């Protein structure tokens, strides 16, 4: 307070006090009544001063105690107190966004029945003098509109129309730049703006501004914290997200980012293969405005300037479209068409190569992008780009694995050509025999219709048998999508046996089946599972190929444990495997066969594990090996 | 062409196929017997007349080729026709070398199948005729005395009575008597026929 007393704006009253002291110390005490009147005036002034100081103290205490979210309301309350205290009609605190546009009225108060006149609200082209005075830091005011200087002619015209009597506008600078304006006015009576009053209003205005600054700083800090938390959250999410979830995680992240930054839309742009164009891979648009469709975010045309800028590692940042250089005309037009007012787009590099760009944009208001956001956007862009790169890599590897599995299946089917031909020719031969027999039977004088009917029924049965084999072969040969259906392994094992039967006879292998009753259903891809069973059977045949002394027996067993898992085991009487082979047999490219690729068991393991199961091998007590796999019995993966 | 009482055996592990074969062959008029495995077939009495065996290659336990091996020596009287769902060159070569009458691929038309069966049965019939003749000669041979056998063995070599007499240390007249008895016992009308019969009976010069 003492400081404020020394403020030059208090100078007039000081001067007056000094004058009074001098005349008091003077020789002649003739003008006593005059002195009394002077004393009375001084007392009145001192009382007014006291009253004002108590208002100021009260306001300042209020603002100190007011938590940030309440500051705006308290400013409005403060304006009301000011208007009432100084017996004015209205008070406005507005923010100058810049000199050419209308100031944004942040807070105002007007006495009941009094409308805030437009002159106090707008600084547009109708009030050029007023605007220039304020931006230069000069107070503007008049007791009556007619007192305005000649150069304010244009302004005056409009003020006259607005019904203003007296007004005062005080610019309130922040760091040397006029940001806020406190304006007060009367509409019905003239008001004399004494220096004292101006100083007092200025003090109150400073109080408002300092409270607002506190609020802004606090908000800025909170925003910064929020963005830091956002980056931390996103990096945690994407570190944990499996490749299959990356899509949804990115979409969620974009919504989260838009909320945290308070922007209307954000997007991840990817360069085309030739780096000529950019396309939107992921985007989010706030849906509060239903007329904004997500297609707005698509940058689907070639914008050379924009692409070049980002490829050079430069960011694209504009507060208003006008700020864009001439060479960006095409981009400007594209954005204008999409209603974009402000945008900030940063290039994102992964291992020193710009692979995409991340950006935020606004279409409802213009946003002057804070410099700190660039860093945050770069960080977020990198997190998203890394996740995307990981997802792409996993997609490629998954596709290759799928192809390899298919190739292995086809190779396995190749081994079964003889068996398959036999299995198909058998029913075909039966059908032909039956048809020919029926033909002969009918040609007889008294045809044996019962026998003919039997022949036809057998043909149907044979045909169905052939059909099933063709179906199985087609399924194994196709390169379809992986599906999950309920599977009964007893049926599945028997289907595969049918396929390898002749192969088995040829290799003189005897099969011993021990299929569990009430085997629970498991969920899985039928083709992949047949592939596993086929692979394990063919491996067993190979293992027994060079066994001449002891019988070649393959024992296949299905079993279940407490209804939680099923086990399928393949026990052979083959040559067995050594410890090294036992350890490595499920690894890719490990083989003991001259023509083997070493992929069969590796693929089987991948398939079993992808179904939540486990596969292992153990030596038998006497001779040969047993390979087992388990699969969980669960309904949760049911499609 | 049907050969009276000729039986066709079918050995195949596939029930539907066995039934279809039985039906087809019955419709043509062949007596058919089917067997599910080599073991089942081996338990049957050997046939006493012309027959043929239609055999599948790929069967559990004893496969077609193994059965062919077990039946070795009998295939002249019971030709084997292999009928397989998937025949490879090595398998067919092996089967044919071991004396198979034919090697057919499933499915085959009734014309091919029946022609093959007819051929096989004709072959079997001829074999049976041979077999029957051989049996007669053996029976005739059995009626000869030891001395007569000795004389026969030398006569078929083209020796004159005098030479035979010298070789066996007997008179020429005795040789003549033996020869007359031999001709009668062997039901031969000429020396040429006697030589042929002796040859069939395993007595070769």
The DSSP annotation for A238-256 comes to: HHH--GGGHHHHHHHHHHH
Residues B65 and B85 in one domain: yes
Compute the nearest-CA separation of B71 from chain A (Å): 20
- Inform me whether the pLDDT recorded for A290 exceeds 70: no
Helix-helix angle B110-143:A417-443, to 10 degrees? 90
Alpha carbons A295 and A398: distance in angstroms, whole number: 31
Each residue of B121-174: pLDDT tens digit? 998 888 888 888 888 888 888 888 888 888 888 888 888 888 888 888 888 888
Range with the lowest mean pLDDT among A4-8, A296-300, B82-86?
A4-8
Q: Write out the residues of chain A at the interface with chain B, using a CB-CB cutoff of 8 A.
A: 417-419, 421-434, 436-437, 440-441, 451, 454-455, 458, 461-462, 465, 502, 504-506, 508, 510
Domain ends where: B107, B133, B159?
B133
Compute the nearest-CA separation of A475 from chain B (Å): 22
Q: Which chain A residue is nearest to residue B13, measuring alpha carbons?
A: A426
Alpha carbons B18 and B35: distance in angstroms, whole number: 8
Q: What share of chain B is helix, strand, coil (3-state, %, to 5)?
A: 55, 10, 35
Q: What are the phi and psi torsion angles at A140 (to 5°)? A: -125, 130
- Please answer yes or no on whether A440 and B63 come within 8 Å at the CB atom: no
Q: Which chain B residue is nearest to residue A447, measuring alpha carbons?
A: B27
Q: Which chain A residue is nearest to residue B26, measuring alpha carbons?
A: A437
Q: Which chain B residue is nearest to residue A423, measuring alpha carbons?
A: B85
- Give, for A96, the enclosing helix (H) or strand (E): none
- Is the residue at B46 inside a domain? yes
Q: Write out the residues of chain B at the interface with chain A, using a CB-CB cutoff of 8 A.
A: 14, 16-17, 19-21, 23-24, 26-28, 58-61, 63, 83-86, 88, 105-110
Compute the nearest-CA separation of A549 from chain B (Å): 15
- Is the residue at B43 inside a domain? yes
Q: Among partner residues B17, B27, B60, which is closest to A429 by beta-carbon distance?
A: B17
Residues B84 and B111 in one domain: yes
Q: Which chain B residue is nearest to residue A429, measuring alpha carbons?
A: B107
Residues B20 and B87 in one domain: yes
Instruction: Give the single-character DSSP code of A272.
Output: -
Residues B121 and B148 in one domain: no
A chain contacts of residue B88, beta-carbon cutoff 8 Å: 418
Residues B7 and B104 in one domain: yes
Alpha carbons A120 and A169: distance in angstroms, whole number: 8
The answer to whether the CB of A605 falls within 8 A of the CB of A586 is yes
What is residue A292's predicted lDDT score, i.e. its pLDDT?
A: 47
Alpha carbons A524 and A522: distance in angstroms, whole number: 7
What is residue A296's predicted lDDT score, i.e. its pLDDT?
A: 47
The two three-digit tokens of residue B175, written as one number: 């040789």
The two three-digit tokens of residue A487, written as one number: 């599977």
- Is the residue at B45 inside a domain? yes
- Is the residue at B195 inside a domain? yes
The two three-digit tokens of residue B196, written as one number: 């042929």
In 3D, which of A178, A171, A179 has the Cα closest to residue A198?
A: A171
Please compute the mean of the pLDDT values over residues A469-487 and round it to a whole number.
82
Q: How many CB atoms lie within 10 A of CB A206?
A: 17
The two three-digit tokens of residue A457, written as one number: 């029924």
Compute the nearest-CA separation of A441 from chain B (Å): 6
- Is the residue at B37 inside a domain? yes
Alpha carbons A117 and A167: distance in angstroms, whole number: 10
B chain contacts of residue A454, beta-carbon cutoff 8 Å: 19, 23
Domain ends where: B78, B99, B133?
B133
Q: Which residues are within 8 A (CB) of A301 and not within 5 positions of it... i.e. 6 or more apart?
A: A277, A334
- Please answer yes or no on whether B16 and A419 come within 8 Å at the CB atom: no
What is residue B46's predicted lDDT score, i.e. its pLDDT?
A: 86
- Is the residue at B40 inside a domain? yes
CATH number at residue B57: 3.40.50.2300
Q: Among partner residues A422, A432, A504, which is closest to B109 by beta-carbon distance?
A: A432
Sort A300 into a burial class: Cβ within 10 Å, 0-12 / 13-18 / 19+.
exposed
Instruction: State chain B's mean pLDDT as an integer.
Output: 87
The answer to whether the CB of A159 falls within 8 A of the CB of A185 is no
Helix-helix angle A32-65:A195-240, to 10 degrees? 10
- Between residues A501 and A103, which one has the greater pLDDT? A501
Q: Among partner residues B23, B60, B61, which is closest to A455 by beta-carbon distance?
A: B23
Compute the nearest-CA separation of A408 from chain B (Å): 24
Compute the nearest-CA separation of B68 from chain A (Å): 15
Residues B120 and B174 in one domain: no
Q: Which chain A residue is nearest to residue B24, measuring alpha carbons?
A: A437
SS3 B187: coil
Each residue of A490-548: pLDDT tens digit? 999 998 888 888 788 778 888 999 999 889 999 888 888 998 999 999 889 888 888 77
- Please answer yes or no on whether A429 and B58 come within 8 Å at the CB atom: no
- Please answer yes or no on whether B86 and A462 come within 8 Å at the CB atom: no
A chain contacts of residue B86, beta-carbon cutoff 8 Å: 417-419, 421-422, 425, 502
Alpha carbons A335 and A440: distance in angstroms, whole number: 84
A chain contacts of residue B66, beta-carbon cutoff 8 Å: none
Q: What are the phi and psi torsion angles at B41 (to 5°)? A: -65, -40
The answer to whether the CB of A347 falls within 8 A of the CB of A315 is yes
Residues B147 and B54 in one domain: no
Instruction: Select the highest-mean-pLDDT range: A104-118, A128-142, B28-42, B71-85.
Output: B28-42
Q: Among partner residues A424, A430, A508, which is closest to B17 by beta-carbon distance?
A: A430
Alpha carbons A225 and B186: distance in angstroms, whole number: 127
A chain contacts of residue B27, beta-carbon cutoff 8 Å: 437, 440-441, 451
Phi-psi region of A105 (alpha: psi -120 to 50; beta: other; left: phi over 0): beta
Compute the nearest-CA separation of B112 from chain A (Å): 12
Q: Among partner residues B20, B27, B59, which is closest to A458 by beta-carbon distance?
A: B20
In 3D, which of B24, B98, B100 has the Cα closest to residue B56?
A: B100
Chain CA centroid to CA A16, Å = 67
Each residue of A390-413: pLDDT tens digit? 888 888 877 877 787 888 888 888
| Total number of domains constituting chain B | 2
- Between residues A126 and A510, which one has the greater pLDDT? A510
Residues B118 and B152 in one domain: no
Residues B21 and B85 in one domain: yes
- Please answer yes or no on whether A454 and B28 come within 8 Å at the CB atom: no
Alpha carbons A184 and A156: distance in angstroms, whole number: 17
- Please answer yes or no on whether A429 and B16 come within 8 Å at the CB atom: no
What is residue A117's predicted lDDT score, i.e. its pLDDT?
A: 64
- Is the residue at B76 inside a domain? yes
Please compute the mean of the pLDDT values over residues A585-608 and round it to a whole number.
79
Residues B104 and B174 in one domain: no
Instruction: Give the single-character DSSP code of A146.
Output: G
- N residues, chain A: 639
In 3D, which of A364, A398, A401 has the Cα closest to residue A263?
A: A364
Alpha carbons A615 and A635: distance in angstroms, whole number: 21
- Inform me whether the pLDDT recorded for A638 exceeds 80: no
Question: Any idea which residue has 């405005």 for tokens?
Answer: A289
Reported in sequence order, the residue ranges of chain B that DSSP labels E, i.e. its strands, are: 7-11, 32-35, 51-55, 80-84, 102-105
B chain contacts of residue A423, beta-carbon cutoff 8 Å: 85
The 3-state secondary structure of A157-179 reads: HHHHHHCCCEEEEEEEEECCEEE
- Inform me whether the pLDDT recorded for A69 exceeds 90: no
**DSSP codes of every residue in A424-448:** HHHHHHHHHHHHHHHHHHHHSSS--
- Please answer yes or no on whether A432 and B58 come within 8 Å at the CB atom: no
Alpha carbons A497 and A254: distance in angstroms, whole number: 53
Dihedral sign computed on CA atoms, order A14, A19, A25, A30: negative
Strand partners of residue A626: A571, A618
**B20, B30, B89, B108: best to mutate for the A interface, most A CBs within 10 A:** B20
- Please answer yes or no on whether A433 and B107 come within 8 Å at the CB atom: yes
- Inform me whether the pLDDT recorded for A294 exceeds 60: no
Alpha carbons A152 and A150: distance in angstroms, whole number: 5
The two three-digit tokens of residue A42, written as one number: 């001084």
Q: Count helices and strands (H / E) in chain A.
A: 18, 17
Question: Any idea which residue has 């769902």 for tokens?
Answer: B85
- Inform me whether the pLDDT recorded for B2 exceeds 80: no
- Please answer yes or no on whether B16 and A436 come within 8 Å at the CB atom: no
- Inform me whether the pLDDT recorded for B43 exceeds 70: yes
Each residue of A17-58: pLDDT tens digit? 444 444 445 455 556 778 888 888 888 888 888 888 888 889
SS3 A487: strand
The answer to whether the CB of A426 falls within 8 A of the CB of A498 is no
Alpha carbons A629 and A601: distance in angstroms, whole number: 12
How many beta-carbon pairs below 8 A join chains A and B? 94
Sort A306 into a burial class: Cβ within 10 Å, 0-12 / 13-18 / 19+.
buried
Please compute the mean of the pLDDT values over residues A140-161 and round it to a whole number.
80
Q: Among partner residues A426, A437, A441, which is closest to B14 by beta-carbon distance?
A: A426
- Please answer yes or no on whether B17 and A426 come within 8 Å at the CB atom: yes
Percent of chain A with pLDDT over 70: 88
Residues B90 and B189 in one domain: no
Expressed as residue numbers, the domain containing B87 is 3-133
- Please answer yes or no on whether A434 and B60 come within 8 Å at the CB atom: no
Per-residue buried b or exposed e for A433-470, using 16+ beta carbons within 10 Å of the residue's own CB: bbbbbbebbeeeeeebeeebebbeebbebbeebbeebe
Each residue of A250-275: pLDDT tens digit? 888 888 888 888 888 888 888 877 77
What is residue B4's predicted lDDT score, i.e. its pLDDT?
A: 62
Each residue of B69-121: pLDDT tens digit? 888 877 778 999 999 887 788 889 999 998 899 999 888 888 999 999 999 99
Please compute the mean of the pLDDT values over residues B5-9 and round it to a whole number.
88
Q: How many CB atoms lie within 10 A of CB A164?
A: 21
- Please answer yes or no on whether A434 and B20 come within 8 Å at the CB atom: yes
Residues B78 and B14 in one domain: yes
Compute the nearest-CA separation of A460 from chain B (Å): 11
Sort A497 into a burial class: Cβ within 10 Å, 0-12 / 13-18 / 19+.
middle
CATH number at residue B158: 1.10.10.10
Compute the nearest-CA separation of A566 from chain B (Å): 29
Q: Among partner residues B21, B27, B106, which is closest to A425 by beta-carbon distance?
A: B106
Taking the C-alpha atoms of B97, A507, A576 and A511 in order, what is their torsion angle to the nearest 10 degrees? -140
- Please answer yes or no on whether B23 and A433 come within 8 Å at the CB atom: yes
In 3D, which of A578, A473, A564 has the Cα closest to residue A522?
A: A564
Compute the nearest-CA separation of A548 from chain B (Å): 14
A chain contacts of residue B17, beta-carbon cutoff 8 Å: 426-427, 429-430, 433
- Is the residue at B138 inside a domain? no
Q: Which residues are within 8 A (CB) of B161 and not within 5 positions of it... i.e. 6 or more apart?
A: B172, B175, B176, B179
The structure's pTM equals: 0.54
What is residue A637's predicted lDDT score, i.e. its pLDDT?
A: 44
Compute the nearest-CA separation of A573 from chain B (Å): 16
B chain contacts of residue A504, beta-carbon cutoff 8 Å: 60
Question: Any idea which residue has 């309130």 for tokens?
Answer: A172
Q: Which residues are within 8 A (CB) of A416 and not within 5 positions of it... i.e. 6 or more apart?
A: A499, A500, A503, A534
Chain CA centroid to CA A478, Å = 37
Compute the nearest-CA separation of B16 from chain A (Å): 7
Each residue of A432-441: pLDDT tens digit? 999 999 999 9
**DSSP codes of every residue in A500-517:** HHHHHHHTT-EEEEEEPT
Distances (CA, A) of A255 to A113, A252, A374: 44, 5, 18
**B8, B12, B17: best to mutate for the A interface, most A CBs within 10 A:** B17
Instruction: State chain A's mean pLDDT as an integer.
Output: 81
């Amino acid at each position: 307070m003492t400081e404020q007393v020394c403020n030059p704006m208090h100078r007039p009253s000081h001067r007056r006090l000094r004058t009074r002291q001098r005349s008091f110390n003077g020789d002649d005490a003739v003008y006593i009544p005059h002195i009394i009147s002077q004393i009375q005036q001084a007392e009145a002034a001192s009382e007014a001063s006291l009253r004002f100081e108590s208002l100021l103290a009260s306001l300042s205490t209020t603002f100190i105690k007011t938590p940030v979210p309440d500051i705006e309301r308290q400013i409005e309350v403060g304006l009301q107190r000011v208007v009432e205290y100084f017996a004015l009609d209205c008070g406005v605190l507005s923010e100058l966004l810049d000199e050419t546009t209308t100031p944004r009225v942040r807070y105002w108060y007007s006495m009941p029945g009094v409308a805030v006149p437009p002159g106090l609200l707008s600084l547009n082209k109708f009030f050029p003098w007023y605007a220039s005075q304020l931006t230069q830091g000069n107070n503007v005011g008049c007791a009556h509109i007619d007192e305005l200087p000649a150069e304010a002619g244009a302004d005056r015209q409009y003020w006259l129309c607005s019904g203003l009597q007296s007004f005062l506008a005080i610019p309130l600078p922040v760091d040397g730049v006029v940001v806020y304006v406190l304006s007060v006015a009367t509409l019905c009576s003239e008001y004399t703006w004494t220096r004292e009053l101006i100083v007092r209003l200025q003090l109150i205005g400073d109080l408002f501004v300092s409270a607002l600054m506190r609020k802004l700083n606090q908000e800025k800090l909170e925003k910064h914290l929020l963005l830091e938390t956002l980056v931390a959250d996103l990096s945690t999410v994407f570190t944990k997200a499996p490749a299959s979830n990356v899509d949804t995680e990115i979409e969620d992240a974009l919504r989260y980012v838009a909320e945290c930054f308070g922007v209307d839309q954000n997007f991840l742009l990817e360069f085309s293969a030739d780096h000529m164009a950019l396309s939107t891979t992921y985007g989010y648009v706030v849906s509060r405005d239903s007329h904004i469709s997500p297609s707005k975010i698509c940058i689907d045309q070639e914008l050379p300037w924009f692409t070049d800028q980002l490829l050079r590692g430069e960011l694209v940042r504009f507060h208003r479209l006008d700020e864009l250089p001439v060479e960006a005309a095409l981009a400007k037009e594209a954005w204008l068409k999409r209603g974009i007012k402000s945008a900030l787009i940063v290039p994102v590099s992964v291992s020193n190569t710009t692979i995409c760009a991340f950006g935020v944009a606004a279409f409802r208001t213009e946003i002057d992008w804070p410099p700190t956001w660039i860093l945050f956007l770069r960080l977020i862009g990198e997190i998203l780009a890394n996740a995307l790169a990981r997802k792409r890599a996993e997609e490629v590897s998954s596709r290759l694995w799928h192809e390899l599995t298919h190739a292995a299946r086809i190779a396995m089917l190749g081994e079964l050509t003889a068996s398959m031909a036999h299995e198909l020719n058998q029913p075909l031969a039966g059908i032909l025999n039956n048809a020919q027999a029926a033909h002969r039977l009918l040609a007889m004088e008294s045809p044996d219709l019962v026998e003919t009917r039997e022949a036809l029924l057998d043909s149907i049965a044979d045909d169905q048998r052939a059909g099933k084999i063709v179906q199985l072969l087609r399924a194994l040969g196709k390169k379809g999508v992986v599906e999950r259906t309920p599977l009964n392994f007893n049926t599945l094992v028997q289907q595969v046996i049918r396929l390898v039967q002749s192969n088995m006879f040829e290799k003189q292998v005897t099969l011993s089946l021990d299929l569990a009753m009430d085997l629970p259903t498991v969920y899985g891809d039928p083709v992949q599972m047949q592939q596993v069973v086929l692979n394990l059977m063919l491996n067993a045949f190979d293992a027994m190929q060079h066994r001449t002394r002891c019988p070649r027996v393959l024992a296949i067993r299905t079993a279940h444990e407490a209804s939680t898992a099923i086990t399928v085991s393949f026990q052979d009487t083959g040559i067995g495997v050594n410890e090294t082979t036992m350890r490595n047999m499920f690894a890719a490219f490990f083989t003991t066969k001259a023509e083997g690729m070493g992929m069969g068991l590796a693929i089987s393991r991948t398939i079993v594990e992808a179904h939540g199961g486990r596969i292992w091998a153990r030596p038998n007590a006497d001779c040969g090996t047993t390979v087992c796999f388990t699969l969980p019995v669960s309904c949760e993966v049911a499609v | 062409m049907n050969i009276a009482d000729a039986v066709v055996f079918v050995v195949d592990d596939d029930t539907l196929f066995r039934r279809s074969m039985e039906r087809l062959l019955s419709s043509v008029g062949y007596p058919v017997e089917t067997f599910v495995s080599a073991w089942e077939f081996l338990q049957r009495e050997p046939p006493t007349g012309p027959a043929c065996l239609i055999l599948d290659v790929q069967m559990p336990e004893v496969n077609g080729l193994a059965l062919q091996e077990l039946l070795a020596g009998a295939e002249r009287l019971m030709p084997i026709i292999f009928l397989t769902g998937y025949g490879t060159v090595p398998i067919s070569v092996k089967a044919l070398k071991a004396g198979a009458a034919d090697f057919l691929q499933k499915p085959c038309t009734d014309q091919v199948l029946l022609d093959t069966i007819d051929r096989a049965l004709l072959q079997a019939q001829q074999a049976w005729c041979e077999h029957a003749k051989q049996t007669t000669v053996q029976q005739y041979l059995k009626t000869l005395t030891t001395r007569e056998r000795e004389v026969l063995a030398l006569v078929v070599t083209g020796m004159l009575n005098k030479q035979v007499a010298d070789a066996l240390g007997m008179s020429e007249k005795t040789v003549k008597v033996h020869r007359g008895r031999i001709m009668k016992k062997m039901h031969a009308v000429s020396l040429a026929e006697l030589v042929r019969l002796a040859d069939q009976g395993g007595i070769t010069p």
